Amino acid sequence: MINALSATWRRGRLAGLLTATLLSLLATATYAALPTPGAPDLSARSYVLLDYATEQVIVERDADRPVPPASITKLMTAYLAFEALKNGDISLDDQVTVSEKAWRMGGSRMFIEVGKQVSIKELLQGMIVQSGNDAATALAEHIGGNEASFVAQMNSTAERLGMAETHFENPTGWPAEGHMMSARDIATLLSRLIHQYPDLYQYFRQKSFTFNGIKQYNREKLLFRNEWVDGGKTGHTEAAGYCLATSGARDGMRLIAVVLGTDSDQARNNQAEALLNYGFRHFETVDVRSGGETLASPRVYKGETDETPVGLRQDLSVLVPKNQRDELAISLKLDGELVAPLREGDAVGSLVVRLGEQSIVERPVVALADNPEGGIVKRATDSFWLWWDD
* Cis peptide upstream of residue 40 (ω within 30 degrees of 0): no
Residues 142 and 222 in one domain: yes
pLDDT at residue number 30: 55
- Whether residue 258 lies inside any domain: the answer is yes
State the CATH number of the domain containing residue 303.
2.60.410.10
Q: In the annotation, is 131 catalytic?
A: yes
Distance CA 200, CA 86 (A): 10
Residues 341 and 258 in one domain: no
The total domain count for the chain is 2
Residues 161 and 215 in one domain: yes
Boundary of a domain, candidates 238, 260, 284: 284
pLDDT at residue number 142: 98
- Whether residue 323 lies inside any domain: the answer is yes
61-94 pLDDT, tens per residue?
999 999 999 999 999 999 999 999 999 999 999 9
Q: Where are the beta strands (DSSP E) in 33-83?
A: 46-51, 57-61
Strands 328-334 and 6-8: parallel
- Whether residue 375 lies inside any domain: the answer is yes
Distance CA 200, CA 184 (A): 23
Q: In the annotation, is 71 catalytic?
A: yes
- Whether residue 124 lies inside any domain: the answer is yes
Query: What is the pLDDT averaged over residues 108-135?
Result: 97
Residue 49's nearest CA partner among 342, 271, 218, 230 is 271
Query: What is the pLDDT averaged over residues 108-131?
Result: 97
Mean pLDDT of the chain: 90
Residues 233 and 367 in one domain: no
Q: What angle, 0 to 180 degrees and rounded to 10, lies between the N-to-C axes of helices 133-144 and 120-128?
A: 140
Percent of the chain with pLDDT over 90: 81
Cα separation values, 132 from 216, 290, 330, Å: 10, 42, 49
CB neighbourhood size of 139 (10 A): 28
The catalytic residue among 74, 221, 233, 302 is: 74
Q: In the annotation, is 331 catalytic?
A: no
Q: List own/partner pairs for 241-246 with CB under 8 A and 24 or more apart.
A: 241/45, 242/267, 242/268, 243/69, 243/70, 243/71, 243/72, 243/268, 244/72, 244/220, 244/268, 244/269, 244/272, 245/72, 245/75, 245/186, 245/187, 245/190, 246/220, 246/222, 246/272, 246/276
Residues 87 and 11 in one domain: no
3-state class (DSSP) for residue 62: coil
Boundary of a domain, candidates 284, 312, 331: 284
Residues 327 and 267 in one domain: no
Distance CA 338, CA 303 (A): 9
Q: How confident is the model at residue 160 (pLDDT cuts 50, 70, 90)?
A: very high
Distance CA 206, CA 231 (A): 8
- The letter for the amino acid at 266 is Q
Distance CA 244, CA 12 (A): 52
Residues 220 and 270 in one domain: yes
Whether pTM exceeds 0.95: no
Residue 44's nearest CA partner among 217, 175, 235 is 235
- Whether residue 31 lies inside any domain: the answer is no
Query: What is the pLDDT averaged over residues 135-152?
Result: 98
Residue 140's nearest CA partner among 179, 84, 190 is 84
Residue 39's nearest CA partner among 260, 272, 278, 244 is 278
- Whether residue 355 lies inside any domain: the answer is yes
pLDDT at residue number 17: 27
The residue range of the domain holding 308 is: 6-21+290-389
Worst-scoring range by mean pLDDT, 2-16, 52-66, 322-336?
2-16
- Whether residue 1 lies inside any domain: the answer is no
18-47 pLDDT, tens per residue?
222 333 333 345 566 676 778 889 999 999
The catalytic residue among 71, 191, 290, 297 is: 71
324-366 pLDDT, tens per residue?
999 999 999 999 899 989 999 999 999 999 998 889 899 999 9
pLDDT at residue number 382: 66
User: Which one has a higher pLDDT value, 300 or 4?
Assistant: 300
State the CATH number of the domain containing residue 165.
3.40.710.10
Residues 42 and 152 in one domain: yes
Boundary of a domain, candidates 284, 300, 325: 284
- Whether residue 231 lies inside any domain: the answer is yes
Residues 54 and 136 in one domain: yes
Worst-scoring range by mean pLDDT, 159-163, 170-174, 336-340?
336-340
Cα separation values, 289 from 3, 294, 317, 331, Å: 13, 10, 7, 12
244-276 pLDDT, tens per residue?
999 999 988 999 999 999 999 999 999 999 999
Residues 10 and 45 in one domain: no
Residues 266 and 342 in one domain: no
The catalytic residue among 46, 99, 108, 131 is: 131
Residues 225 and 315 in one domain: no
- The letter for the amino acid at 77 is T
Residue 270's nearest CA partner among 47, 55, 60, 83 is 47
- Going by the DSSP 8-state scheme, the letter that residue 163 receives in this structure is -
Burial zone of 65 (CB within 10 Å; 0-12 exposed, 13-18 middle, 19+ buried):
middle
